[in-house]
Structure 1
Amino acid sequence: MPPKLEDMTMDVTGTTWILVADGDQARLFEERQRAGDVREIEDRHMGRTGGDYPKAAAHGATVHDRAGHGQHGAGERAPHEEAEDRFLERVAESLADPARRGLFQGLVIMAPPRALGVLRQALPKAAHALLEGSDPHECVRETADDIRGRLRKVRAKA
């Protein structure tokens, strides 16, 4: 039996949130109508803070970090990686309440591959259920129009 015409039409209602992040900052954009304008939700901008860094602890052997002048205990992760992960987990968690309240009906994540992996893993169930797709690229400094173009490419792949 062929599909009904109403089943074949694209749903153009509902708000899609586009999370654009890296290990230092996160920006949130919204598209209120599919294929419509994309605008930044500026009051939802997040940045990594000192609270994201691990607390200093007494330890034995230390290793010099090749990414800078830092040192960390043998067998531990580098402090900057821990801080990035904590920040990204905080970003992901910030989507839980808006997802439960229905502030958005679709979610797309754009982040470098490592950050994308952390975000996807930390995404609360309510937000994960709304995930439409992702883009594994660094684009946190791009404009709303650039993000709109990336969003079209993510949807074209789906």
Structure 2
Amino acid sequence: MRQDERTLVVTADGVQARVFEEARRGGHLIEHTDWLEDLHSKSGHDSAVRGTHGRHGESGADKAEAAFLGKLCDRLDALMTAESFDALILIAPPRALGVLREKMAKGLHQRLALDEAHDRVDATAEALTKIIRDLRQAKA
């Protein structure tokens, strides 16, 4: 990996996501709340949580989660190109991470540098910086 590599760092669960820019490897993370503003629809999730179970045991909440994560993948794919990112790091609970991997376009998947199966959507930028450093050390 290059030191000047620009990385998009994403923390997500089934209903919300946050994106950060790491302008250079090991640098500070800058959160970009505006990049995902329109993806966070509280009313859609709230109604889905109260939904009934559909066929094959999938609840309304499961469908809403899959739809949100699919939209997130589409947005990440667009951001990677529009903002000229070199690499992607995904941090999400195991189930959400699995859905993201499944829905990810091939080109996006090829730029996936690291991932971690933990719920860290509320983590601070400083905590995420340490987590990413530890992930990189473990991978080396």
TM-score by length of 1: 0.76
CA distance in 2 between counterparts of 1:75 and 1:113 reads 21
As a proportion of its length, which structure holds more helix? Answer: 2
Q: Note the alpha carbon deviations across 1:81-104, whole angstroms, 9 max, x for none.
A: 110011011101111222234621
| Match status 1:21 vs 2:20 | no
Say if 1:53 and 1:83, in contact at 8 Å, map to a contact too: no
Structure 1 residues 97, 137: CA separation in 2 closer, same or farther (over 3 Å shift)? same
* Separation (CA, whole Å) in 2 of partners of 1:18 and 1:125: 18
Aligned AA for 1:75?
A: H
Contact 2:10–2:20 at 8 Å: present in 1 too?
yes
User: In 2, are the aligned partners of 1:54 and 1:83 still within 8 Å (CA)?
Assistant: no
Q: 1:13 to 1:73 in 2, by over 3 A?
A: closer
1:98 match: 79
1:87 corresponding residue in structure 2 = 68
Deviation of 1:70 (Å):
4.2
Percent identity of paired positions between Structure 1 and Structure 2: 33
Q: Structure 1 stretches of 5 or more lacking a match?
A: 1-9, 56-67
Equivalent AA in structure 2 for residue 89 of structure 1: G
> In structure 2, what is the equivalent of residue 32 of structure 1?
23
Which 5+ residue runs of structure 2 have no aligned equivalent? none
1:108 aligns with 2:89: yes
Normalised by the size of structure 2, how large is the TM-score? 0.85
CA displacement, residues 32-56 of structure 1 (integer Å, 9 cap, x when unaligned):
011111111121234245557999x
Question: How many residues are matched?
Answer: 137
2: CA distance between counterparts of 1:14 and 1:142?
23
Q: CA deviation at 1:124?
A: 1.6
* Letter of the structure 2 residue corresponding to residue 44 of structure 1: W
Contact 2:15 2:45 in 1 (8 A): no
Residues in 1 aligned to 2:24 and 2:93: alpha-carbon distance in whole angstroms: 26
**Which residue does 1:146 correspond to in 2?**
127
Cα displacement (A) at 1:125: 2.0
Taking CA–CA contacts closer than 8 Å with sequence separation of 6 or more, which of the two structures ends up with the larger relative contact order? 2
| CA radius of gyration, larger in | 1
